[in-house]
Chains A and B, each alone.
Chain A
Amino acid sequence: MSKPTSLFVIFFSLFVMSEAVFEDQVGKFDWRQQYVGKTLFAHFDSHSQSSKKLFLATDKNIFASFNSRTGDLFWRHVDKVGPEGTIDILLLHGQDALMVVGGGRLLRSWDTNMGGLNWEAVLDTGSFQAACFVAIQDTVKHVAVLKKAVISLHYLTNGHQKWVENLPDSDTVQYQAVYSGGEEEVYVLGVVPNSHLTIIAYSLEDGEIIKQRSVEAPWLSSVESSCVVIGQGVLMCVDPATLALYTLPIQAEEAPQFNQILLQVTPVQPRLESVVFPPQLYVHAFLKKDDSVGYRVLVQTQDHALTFIQQPGRVVWTREEALADVVTMEMVDLPLTGTQAELEGEFGKKADGLFPMVLKRLSSQVILLQVWLAHLWKLFYEARQPHGQVKNEVTIETLSRDEFNLQKMMVMVTASGKLFGIDSKSGSILWKHYLENVQPNAVFKLIVQRTTAHFPHPPQCTLLIKDKDTGLASLHVFNPIFGRKSHIAPPALPRPILQSLLLPVIDQDYAKVLLLVDDQYKVTAFPSTKNVLQQLQEMASSIFFYLIRSDQGNLSGFRLRKDLSTERIWEVVLPTEVQKIVAVNGKRPNEHVHSQGRVMGDRSVLYKYLNPNLLAVVTESTDAHPERAFVGVFLVDGVTGRIIHEAVQRKARGPVHFVHSENWVVYEYWNTKSRRNEFSVLELFEGTELYNSTVFSSLDRPHLPQVLQQTYIFPSPITTMEATLTEKGITSRHLLVGLPSGAILSLPKMFLDPRRPEVVTEHSREENLIPYAPEMPIRTEWFINYNQTVARVKGIYTAPSGLESTCLVVAYGLDIYQTRVYPSKQFDVLKDDYDYVLISSVLLALFFATMISKRLAQVKLLNRAWR
């Protein structure tokens, strides 16, 4: 039995394979952009004059090298997420870049040429304060690392520790800076806030304290924020309160004293805050060939853009590092071209008499002719150009929908509050808009209210920005194609907003209505014209919404009243001391399911339970003990609050990643008993009879669905998961799984099917069910991004295209990767490597062969007739 089964599996897998990209398809319809995040430290490579390297350490725990001429990435090292990988300091000396990582945990030295690691040394525990190179007569051989209570000296060549010393009085004095002036001493600066400054000099040889001095400084609270060492050991500090500048020679032998310089205050003078250069500005000054001073500046702006400026004020390049932290995104169809829109306009509107219609038709024909002529002229013009010079620049003006709607506008919202409009075909940024006054912890929700389908009304997107601290929300309404702010005034939202709800109701301008629920469960409609309010009143009894309060373990459902207030109709409480609600997911509103059931082996139908109001609620136990931890999946009807199904996975722990679509839920968790990742799939079926095939109402569903479940072992942890989406839902579904390695796996849903049989039967073979195997394979051909790994995949966005076979995929995280997937292969379009030349030449050859042989046959017949 087992042998035929395995043969069957192999045979089947041969069918499923061949998803991968061919070598010549690389980069044809996919692109990747790599980002590094907000810069913390930057250094110019001053090792040689002609060097064009630039070294950055960022808040995303990345150490990267850039080409300073173009802004391209040379190499990049992505460290662990969180405090374990934070870069505390980056120092550059010659070929070596020195880094303290993880709050003073590790000291690393990198080779700046190749980006390779020279050595790594583990430091003693203690929070990191400062580090500096220690030079003796301009030759740097050591590095000093200052921690809260300890100072240590390391060799630059191998990282070995030369000596380590405890700092005196480290519980009262805050040691915050270390300085070496090129002599045999290392100075440590500490401060007792608002009292005095302590300077300790250590011997370079053995770490003995040579000198220890104290300087009165009652105005000083922190060396780190208000002092800097300039020149040959001169400490310069600033006191913002009195607008005074203080200087102190560190190495001075005599009794030290701060020299106070009071600053002139004039109205034009900016407010003095810090003597330290703002960390957003990195200046590199150098001597030019004619001995004049040149400079280059790297500017980090508030919107996380990194701009490189050269001396005459010329911007050499700009990197939009805000895209390293995309929060949410949407894909919007591009508008039709002018001519297409013109034709749409002609046929889209009501007829207004015979003569105007004829005129309109004629004028549109003239426009078409004009466009065609312009196209011909362009072809002719481009043909005259040398081949390499022809550039297909995508600009916002030339943007138009292609034949199969494969090119779309990606609207991306980043954590910094900057919005981007990116062309999905080329990846070029077409517009950007920075929203000021966005709190760093704000929550965003992007809603497409009107697509491009309603010409001449412009498309409209609304971004809901909620401030986590105050709970107040604001709306930013904009045109997703051009990025311009819409002139439509969003409603004033005086109360904190809890959730929003996009209704399929449209106003007279074809904009979908957005309902905003405030903390008193009152509803605000946007747009709120009279027409909309009337429609809402009519439909109020069929509009429901649910709210989930994770902190209270509370799920509640509400119904809209005619006066736009609400009434609570159900409530489910999951005790928070046992489990907490982690995530909830309904179905995507633009998802279509073509087939209403599944055909069994005996040719009967198992109808799917396609409840559009079904919610998948995932909970995790508060008890983290491996024996008692569990993961719960509740399927709740969002209208009635009825729990359709609950699945509890014992000895399991999160993070749970899940996808809810059609009639299935797929979730992934960590099995604490077997210590492995597992995939589980739940499928809901109505049975062999449909209860009501014409309408679906949650209020009239007496029977619970049949639920099937199966679990598989997955050999890798995952970071995110999403399902493919196509226009009509005919194409089979795949799951797109983001792996920590940066690969994106396209896993056929067929492998996650609870009806996979353990014993192969005639019926199951008829159904094309793969026999159950507990291990889920990962095949490298299933990686849709071949070697273009996406670091730290945070989310995957899928959008249908105009072709049923094709689904557009955007994976975002640190990088952005865009591609297309064909879950059932390209069944509706010729492949892009289709051999047109061969086929047409064969056809032509056959045609001519037919003609010639016909003629020959005629001649022969005639000859025979004459014989």
Chain B
Amino acid sequence: MSDRIVDGVRKHTPSILLFFDESPFSLLWLWLSTEKRKQIKSEKIGIILYIAMASPGGQGGGAVSTRGAGARRMKWALELSLGNARGRGDRQSNQGDVMYPIGYSDKPVPDTSIQETDKNLVEKRCWDVALGPLKQIPMNLFIMYMSGNTISIFPIMMVCMMAWRPIQALMSMSATFKLLENSNQQWLQGLVYSVGNLLGSALAIYKCQSMGLLPTHSSDWLAFIEPPQRMEIMGGGMVL
């Protein structure tokens, strides 16, 4: 989706149409996310709106309408990017002033009403993120128990997954911290998150140990023992 549409839609964002989004979860997400995320989400909203305004025959017609081949097959199309200086603005500017979408208001709508719950939701979400790895541990334990100690493809896959996920999570700690940066308990959450991951990897190591994959026994180093050097030369036999 091009910037053009996004820019166009931003102006017309009506709060009521938020409910057209897919799920309440996304709604929550929308509110929690940063400015950029807001932009993208509102783009989605814009499209919904746009589709609602378009005729039932033109599924995704708005997007397609800009293309040369598609446009020809359309009976009619709406162009929402009004007053945009970029793109094909010049050609359509003469009609732009007349076409306002339904529910359009020139003044931005202030949304100060949900500020308090928003903050709580952010906290909650951040704790969810931080406690995620810890919550997975019982599940991992169950999987460990179920997969057994035999060395075959499935237990190995399980162990690899179990070992790899915490490591991956620990490696992308900075991204997680960015997620948590809105929270005021950021450091505590970060600590809990990393402890959870460490516990996960400890579990994976324990699993490896019980499966006998760790070189902890002397037999694992047997192949590296060189044959001892011979100090005496000896020979002989029966008297010929």
Contact surface of A with B, Cβ cutoff 8 Å: 443, 445, 464, 466, 473, 497-505, 515, 517, 539, 542-550, 581, 583-584, 586, 592-593, 595-597, 599-600, 603-605, 610, 612-613, 638-639, 688, 690, 692-699
Q: A595-B222, A596-B227, A604-B218 are in contact. Are A542 and B236 (CB under 8 A)?
A: no
11 additional contacts (CB under 8 A) given A499-B236, A547-B239, A612-B234 = A499-B238, A501-B235, A545-B234, A599-B222, A604-B217, A605-B219, A639-B232, A692-B228, A696-B231, A698-B232, A699-B231
Task: Judge if B229 is at the interface, Cβ distance under 8 Å.
Answer: yes
Decide if the interface of chain B is mainly helix, strand, loop or mixed. mixed
B223: chain A residues within 8 A (beta carbon)? 595
Decide if the interface of chain A is mainly helix, strand, loop or mixed. strand
A699: chain B residues within 8 A (beta carbon)? 231-232
> Which 4 residue pairs spanning A and B have beta carbons closest together?
A501-B235, A697-B231, A545-B236, A546-B236
Q: A466-B240, A548-B239, A596-B227 are in contact. Are A638 and B234 (CB under 8 A)?
A: yes
B219:A548 contact, CB within 8 angstroms: no
- Complex: chain B residue closest to A603, CB-CB: B217
B229:A694 contact, CB within 8 angstroms: yes
| Candidates B212, B222, B226, B232; contact of A697 at CB < 8 Å | B232
> Shortest Cβ distance from A440 into chain B, in angstroms?
16
A547: chain B residues within 8 A (beta carbon)? 236-239
B236: chain A residues within 8 A (beta carbon)? 499, 501, 517, 545-548, 638
A539: chain B residues within 8 A (beta carbon)? 233
- Complex: chain B residue closest to A519, CB-CB: B239
* Alpha-carbon separation in the docked complex, A515 to B218 (Å): 42
- Complex: chain A residue closest to B216, CB-CB: A603
Q: How large is the interface on B (under 10, 10 to 19, 20 to 34, 35 or more residues)?
A: 20 to 34
A584:B238 contact, CB within 8 angstroms: yes
A639:B234 contact, CB within 8 angstroms: yes
* Alpha-carbon separation in the docked complex, A581 to B237 (Å): 12
Q: What sequence of 0s and 1s flags, for each residue 52-81 of chain B, a beta carbon within 8 Å of any chain A beta carbon? A: 000000000000000000000000000000
A502:B228 contact, CB within 8 angstroms: no
Task: Judge if B1 is at the interface, Cβ distance under 8 Å.
Answer: no
* Alpha-carbon separation in the docked complex, A586 to B225 (Å): 24
Q: A596-B227, A605-B218 are in contact. Are A543 and B237 (CB under 8 A)?
A: no
B238:A696 contact, CB within 8 angstroms: no
> Shortest Cβ distance from B22 into chain A, in angstroms?
29
A600: chain B residues within 8 A (beta carbon)? 219
* Alpha-carbon separation in the docked complex, A639 to B236 (Å): 11
> Shortest Cβ distance from A484 into chain B, in angstroms?
26
* Alpha-carbon separation in the docked complex, A732 to B217 (Å): 23
A to B contact number (C-beta, < 8 Å): 116
B220: chain A residues within 8 A (beta carbon)? 603
* Alpha-carbon separation in the docked complex, A592 to B217 (Å): 25
| Candidates B219, B228, B237; contact of A603 at CB < 8 Å | B219
B178: chain A residues within 8 A (beta carbon)? none
> Shortest Cβ distance from B240 into chain A, in angstroms?
5
> Shortest Cβ distance from B64 into chain A, in angstroms?
13
B229:A499 contact, CB within 8 angstroms: no
> Shortest Cβ distance from A755 into chain B, in angstroms?
15
* Alpha-carbon separation in the docked complex, A696 to B222 (Å): 17
B228:A499 contact, CB within 8 angstroms: no
> Shortest Cβ distance from B105 into chain A, in angstroms?
42
> Shortest Cβ distance from A764 into chain B, in angstroms?
15
| Candidates A503, A546, A610, A639; contact of B227 at CB < 8 Å | A610
Contact surface of B with A, Cβ cutoff 8 Å: 212, 217-220, 222-223, 225-240
B230:A612 contact, CB within 8 angstroms: yes
Query: What are 29 A-B contacts defined by CB distance under 8 Å?
Result: A445-B240, A473-B240, A498-B240, A500-B240, A503-B233, A503-B235, A543-B234, A548-B236, A548-B237, A549-B238, A581-B238, A584-B237, A586-B234, A595-B223, A596-B222, A596-B227, A597-B219, A597-B222, A599-B219, A603-B212, A612-B230, A639-B232, A639-B234, A693-B225, A695-B230, A696-B229, A697-B232, A699-B231, A699-B232
A613:B238 contact, CB within 8 angstroms: no
| Candidates A497, A604, A695; contact of B240 at CB < 8 Å | A497
Q: A546-B236, A547-B239 are in contact. Are A604 and B219 (CB under 8 A)?
A: yes
* Alpha-carbon separation in the docked complex, A543 to B231 (Å): 9
A499:B240 contact, CB within 8 angstroms: yes
B238: chain A residues within 8 A (beta carbon)? 499, 547-550, 581, 583-584
B231: chain A residues within 8 A (beta carbon)? 542, 695-699
B229: chain A residues within 8 A (beta carbon)? 694-696
* Alpha-carbon separation in the docked complex, A638 to B217 (Å): 34
B232:A544 contact, CB within 8 angstroms: yes
| Candidates B218, B226, B232, B235; contact of A586 at CB < 8 Å | B235
A610:B232 contact, CB within 8 angstroms: no
- Complex: chain B residue closest to A700, CB-CB: B231
B239: chain A residues within 8 A (beta carbon)? 498-499, 547-550
* Alpha-carbon separation in the docked complex, A441 to B227 (Å): 41
* Alpha-carbon separation in the docked complex, A445 to B237 (Å): 11
> Shortest Cβ distance from A374 into chain B, in angstroms?
44
* Alpha-carbon separation in the docked complex, A603 to B225 (Å): 16
* Alpha-carbon separation in the docked complex, A695 to B223 (Å): 17
A542:B222 contact, CB within 8 angstroms: no
- Complex: chain A residue closest to B228, CB-CB: A696
> Shortest Cβ distance from B114 into chain A, in angstroms?
46
> Shortest Cβ distance from B115 into chain A, in angstroms?
49
B218: chain A residues within 8 A (beta carbon)? 604-605, 688
A545: chain B residues within 8 A (beta carbon)? 234-236
> Shortest Cβ distance from B80 into chain A, in angstroms?
26
B227:A593 contact, CB within 8 angstroms: yes
B232:A542 contact, CB within 8 angstroms: yes
- Complex: chain A residue closest to B239, CB-CB: A498
* Alpha-carbon separation in the docked complex, A605 to B219 (Å): 5
B222:A544 contact, CB within 8 angstroms: no
A613:B219 contact, CB within 8 angstroms: no
* Alpha-carbon separation in the docked complex, A581 to B238 (Å): 9
> Shortest Cβ distance from A90 into chain B, in angstroms?
37
* Alpha-carbon separation in the docked complex, A694 to B219 (Å): 17
* Alpha-carbon separation in the docked complex, A499 to B2 (Å): 96
* Alpha-carbon separation in the docked complex, A696 to B230 (Å): 5
A464: chain B residues within 8 A (beta carbon)? 240
* Alpha-carbon separation in the docked complex, A93 to B232 (Å): 67
B234: chain A residues within 8 A (beta carbon)? 543-546, 586, 612-613, 638-639
* Alpha-carbon separation in the docked complex, A698 to B228 (Å): 12
> Shortest Cβ distance from A472 into chain B, in angstroms?
11
> Shortest Cβ distance from A372 into chain B, in angstroms?
41
A504:B233 contact, CB within 8 angstroms: yes
- Complex: chain A residue closest to B238, CB-CB: A548
B232:A596 contact, CB within 8 angstroms: no
| Candidates B217, B228, B232, B240; contact of A693 at CB < 8 Å | B228
B232:A499 contact, CB within 8 angstroms: no
A544: chain B residues within 8 A (beta carbon)? 232-234
* Alpha-carbon separation in the docked complex, A549 to B217 (Å): 47
> Among the interface residues B218, B225, B236, which one has the most CB atoms of the partner chain A within 10 A?
B236
* Alpha-carbon separation in the docked complex, A500 to B237 (Å): 8
> Shortest Cβ distance from A443 into chain B, in angstroms?
5
> Shortest Cβ distance from A153 into chain B, in angstroms?
51
* Alpha-carbon separation in the docked complex, A318 to B229 (Å): 50
* Alpha-carbon separation in the docked complex, A436 to B232 (Å): 39
Q: A498-B240, A499-B236, A584-B237 are in contact. Are A695 and B228 (CB under 8 A)?
A: yes
* Alpha-carbon separation in the docked complex, A595 to B224 (Å): 9
| Candidates A584, A595, A610, A638; contact of B228 at CB < 8 Å | A610
A503: chain B residues within 8 A (beta carbon)? 233, 235
A605: chain B residues within 8 A (beta carbon)? 217-219, 222
* Alpha-carbon separation in the docked complex, A503 to B230 (Å): 13
> Shortest Cβ distance from B215 into chain A, in angstroms?
10
- Complex: chain A residue closest to B224, CB-CB: A596
* Alpha-carbon separation in the docked complex, A593 to B222 (Å): 12
Q: A443-B240, A596-B225 are in contact. Are A502 and B232 (CB under 8 A)?
A: no
> Shortest Cβ distance from B69 into chain A, in angstroms?
8
* Alpha-carbon separation in the docked complex, A688 to B237 (Å): 33
A581: chain B residues within 8 A (beta carbon)? 238
